[in-house]
Structure 1
Amino acid sequence: MNLKVILTGATGRTGRLVFQKLKADPSNFSVTGLIRNADTAKEVFGTTEDLVEGDIRKPDTLEKPFAGKDALVLLTSAVPKPISSPDGGPPQFSFDPEGMPEIIDWQGAKNQIDTAIRLGLKHVIMVGSMGSTQENNPLNRIGNGNILRFKRKAELYLIESGIPYTIINPAGLTNEDESERELLIGRNDELFSVFDRMKCSIPRADVARVVVAALTAEKARNKAMDLAARPKGDGSVTQNPMTLFDLAGSQL
């Protein structure tokens, strides 16, 4: 089997890890990464091999990159930028006008899902964020972007679209090493009742492991899950992420 995958958000900090893992397994995967800027891609990867330019805000630019693919890994997200506080206090954050969550996390995600359906892809894996069921989550106040509300809207659109899906909503992302912590599956932000919100986290590399596993696991189809990790040293290290999908629910 050689699964043809289109990965969007390939130059993001989590996206690049997924891209590299798929590239490292050519017997099972053939991956194309969607990028907006070739110069940025060269800075990240040192090359543009297996990368193609496209803009999720412009559906016509998605047709060629998505054509002939089996699965979409949707890893795009609006990214806030720090701005100086006028009173010298802690930095504030804002979004670029063309990169607001409504544009990227809702309209851009919808464009990707619609293109995947139109071109006959068989599976969409969407990586979002824990907290999307919480209207008052502090992340919604960043730059007045309501980022989690728009991620939630896209999740529900994907569930209702009819295409087989896997939704993975990780806790706060860290840059720790993979395969050193016990991974936990939850639903509808219930893991926030297990962990303090500010301490609920997971290494990006472990998220990448779960994404790659979900591409070939039938039990991951039509599942939506929150994903977090116990503190290092607590519990038993999750060696095989495939075991997580037995615990995932069928909808949000």
Structure 2
Amino acid sequence: MSRVFVTGAGGRTGKLVLQKLRERSEFAEVKGLVRRQEQQTELGEGVVLGDVLSPESWQQALAGCTHLVILTSAVPKMRPTRNPDDPPEWFYEPGQEPEQVDWIGQRSQIDLAAQAGVKQVVLVSSMGVTKPDHPLNRIGNGKILFWKRMAEEYLANSGLAYTIIHPGGLIDQPGARRELLVGKHDQFMDDPSGPRTIPRADVAEIVVRALLHDEALNKSFDVVARQEGEGQPTSRWDAFFDAATPGI
């Protein structure tokens, strides 16, 4: 029986991962970490209230876990401008900037996972981490993709078994209906006519499957989805992970 700890469980993708793992109770016991009381109340049993920037608030919950799924990410806020014709201004709340959440917070999670004897860390990052000039880095001057890449490299060098997932743009559409494509180093971003998005439900399924398939170990990959009806929906997960090359 695996024991899985999911951080960022209160987010839209995190909730899906938590649900899918609960549906596989014969395979795993699952705990989740959320930042807000209303999220803990909504998600119920096994969900811990804490902050990745305060490891003492959740370190005990990680003890005894065999797997860690990291879904935490800084989230920009929008500040309306006085002139409605001007573009909105984006900012990060103090203490919740990408350097804090995506670098220091994820580094702390990786360190605690190593101390707890976790067997595998699954990190959900983002496509674009190899593109320094990507527009996401300019939002709120947060350099979010830069800090995500720093955390990825830290995990890859930690000695822990890992799976790093770089999804394309996340869309709220049903999962298990599309063919999923595996790539590396943002190759999908260099094809202006190719797919660049993926349903959150499919990302959640990839996370769960990565916990089940040894082919996913010590691999980092990009993933996007074709449109429905183009190709066959992905169902052979060993072949899916085999398409990813080792390392970051």
Give the structure-2-normalised TM-score. Answer: 0.96
Deviation string, structure 1 residues 133-171 (Cα, Å, up to 9, x no partner): 100000001111100000000000000111000000100
Alignment counterpart, residue 217 of structure 2, candidates 207, 218, 221: 221
Q: CA RMSD in A?
A: 1.3
SS at match of 1:131: coil
Partner of 1:210: 206
1: distance between equivalents of 2:35 and 2:162?
A: 24
1:147 aligns with 2:144: yes
Letter in 1 for 2:163: T
Q: Distance in 2 between matches of 1:60 and 1:83?
A: 33
Paired residue secondary structure (1:21)? helix
Q: Counterpart of 2:95?
A: 98
Partner of 2:23: 24
The residue number in structure 2 matching 1:238 is 234
Q: Which residue of 1 aligns with 2:4?
A: 5
What is the distance in 2 between the residues matched to 1:225 and 1:133? Answer: 12
Secondary structure in structure 2 of the residue aligned to 1:87: coil
How far residue 125 of structure 1 moved from its aligned partner, in angstroms, is 0.3
| C-alpha distance in structure 2 between counterparts of 1:194 and 1:177, whole Å | 25
The equivalences for 1:1-252 within 5 A come to 2-42=1-41, 44-45=42-43, 48-88=44-84, 89-196=86-193, 200-252=196-248
CA distance in structure 2 between the partners assigned to 1:77 and 1:242 by the alignment: 28
Distance 1:157 1:137 in 2: 21
How many aligned positions are there? 247
Which residues of structure 2 form unaligned runs of 5+? Answer: none
Deviations 1:38-80 (A, max 9, x none): 22332x43xx211012211012223201100000000000001
Deviates more, 1:72-81 or 1:59-68: 59-68
Task: Please report how far the alpha carbon of residue 241 of structure 1 lies from its aligned counterpart in structure 2 after TM superposition.
Answer: 3.3
> Where in structure 1 are there 5+ consecutive unaligned residues?
none
Percent identity (aligned): 43
